[in-house]
Amino acid sequence: MTKAAVFTVLSALLLSQAQAATTVKIATISPLSGAVSNLGVQMKNGAQLAVNEMKPQFAKLGMTLSLVAYDDQADPATGTSAARRALADKSVLGMVGPLTSGVAIPATQAMAPSHLVAVAPVATSEKVTDRGLKNVNRVCARDDAQGAAGGNFVAGTLKAKSVYVINDKTPYGQGMAAEAEKAMKAKGVRVVQSEGVTAEDRDFTAVITKVQALKPDAIYFAGLYGQIGPFTQQLRAKGIQTPIVSGDGLDSPDFIKLAGQNVSNVYFTSLAPSLSVVPAAKKVADQYQKTFGAPIQGTGIMAYDSAKVVLTGILNAAKQGGNKVPTRAQVEKAVRGGTFKGLTGDIKFNASGDRTSAKIYVEAIKSGKRSTAATLNITRK
């Protein structure tokens, strides 16, 4: 090989290495297939909008920014495997997600030794942050706040004297139901039945038979829309109009498709706002529609904010290090210690990774239409 040829090969190799060194990625882990893929796609797309928006800022520092999306199918084992794949890609400096608490708990545990930071949009279980991991943060309120808000709604607004409680046997559903029960019992509401159903259950004949016999004033179901939708449809088909109350797992237009276009008397607490209560999100909503051909939902808004936190954390860490690509540990520190501007307000995390000031929205569904009934402010030290 001639000297010129050797020089050409070495130049190409060095250029390739330089390009690899300046590539920066963030990842998402969410269900892109399966029963709750609607929420997972919203999360991925919301994060993608933030990436698209901030690419020029990274380019000024000589960095090429992109997003890599992993499908966890809402399964903890699949999600943890995805986290390990993200860890193996050294250009991934941050994570948006995972979507569900059941995946977030083991996946972020696997990420912790490598300091890969995660900002979860809507993972609500207390266990997500109570473990004290430095790499785990979230922009939403927790189950202990959301479950209590739902329980207080049942007791205070619905004025129910008795309630039938169901959970989907996941960390999310069990934690939410426990907090709701605690709040309802404290207000004198009698829990006539409290039981778990597996997340795969879609035939609720046995449960509905017990509801018919016990005649509760309200039903509290802590789970996801892909399951609560069929439950509601089957319950209403039996002529039972008992109010159903749930958490943010119900927050999807697909719930109405599953429950019935004219479904009414359903309420849920949501950690993600609708556009009517977040006017600042209109520009992002328009861009979402233009980019993906569908309307943005609350999960998309929360994912956008989560991605902006991760990306701003990376930029802040880079600037503190002489405009060089930061390490994962540097990004982890910058995210936990920073203050960020989001569509949902200022974002700052406490020592556990919980947002110091978050909101919970109480949503009502009547004749297949959703409206915001109340907004609650939640603070944590």
User: At 276, is the pLDDT very low, low, confident or very high (cuts 50, 70, 90)?
Assistant: confident
Domains within the chain, CATH numbers bracketed? 23-141+278-349 (3.40.50.2300), 144-270+361-379 (3.40.50.2300)
pLDDT over 80 (residue 161): yes
pLDDT over 70 (residue 18): no
| Tokens standing for residue 240 | 């039972």
Determine the pLDDT at residue 4. Answer: 53
User: At 1, is the pLDDT very low, low, confident or very high (cuts 50, 70, 90)?
Assistant: low
User: At 11, is the pLDDT very low, low, confident or very high (cuts 50, 70, 90)?
Assistant: very low
Burial of 22 (0-12, 13-18, 19+ CB in 10 A): middle
- Mean pLDDT across the stretch 164-175? 94
User: At 35, is the pLDDT very low, low, confident or very high (cuts 50, 70, 90)?
Assistant: confident
* pLDDT tens-place string over residues 177-192: 999 999 999 999 999 9
Determine the pLDDT at residue 273. Answer: 76
- Mean pLDDT across the stretch 279-300? 92
Task: Answer yes or no: are the C-beta atoms of 149 and 376 closer than 8 Å.
Answer: yes
- Mean pLDDT across the stretch 115-127? 95
Determine the pLDDT at residue 14. Answer: 42
User: At 9, is the pLDDT very low, low, confident or very high (cuts 50, 70, 90)?
Assistant: very low
pLDDT over 60 (residue 280): yes
More confident residue, 278 or 195: 195
- Mean pLDDT across the stretch 4-10? 46
Determine the pLDDT at residue 10. Answer: 43
- Angle between helix 282-292 and helix 37-60 axes, rounded to 10 deg: 100
Residue 341 phi/psi, 5° resolution?
Answer: -95, 130
pLDDT over 60 (residue 16): no
Determine the pLDDT at residue 2. Answer: 58
Task: Answer yes or no: are the C-beta atoms of 214 and 194 closer than 8 Å.
Answer: no
Determine the pLDDT at residue 136. Answer: 98
* pLDDT tens-place string over residues 332-363: 999 999 999 999 999 999 999 999 999 898 99
Determine the pLDDT at residue 15. Answer: 42
More confident residue, 171 or 89: 89
pLDDT above 70: percentage of residues in the chain = 94
More confident residue, 3 or 6: 3
pLDDT over 80 (residue 104): yes
More confident residue, 67 or 273: 67
Determine the pLDDT at residue 275. Answer: 75
* pLDDT tens-place string over residues 303-334: 999 999 999 999 999 999 999 999 999 999 99
Determine the pLDDT at residue 12. Answer: 46
What lies within 8 Å, CB to CB, of 240 at 6+ separation is: 208, 211, 212
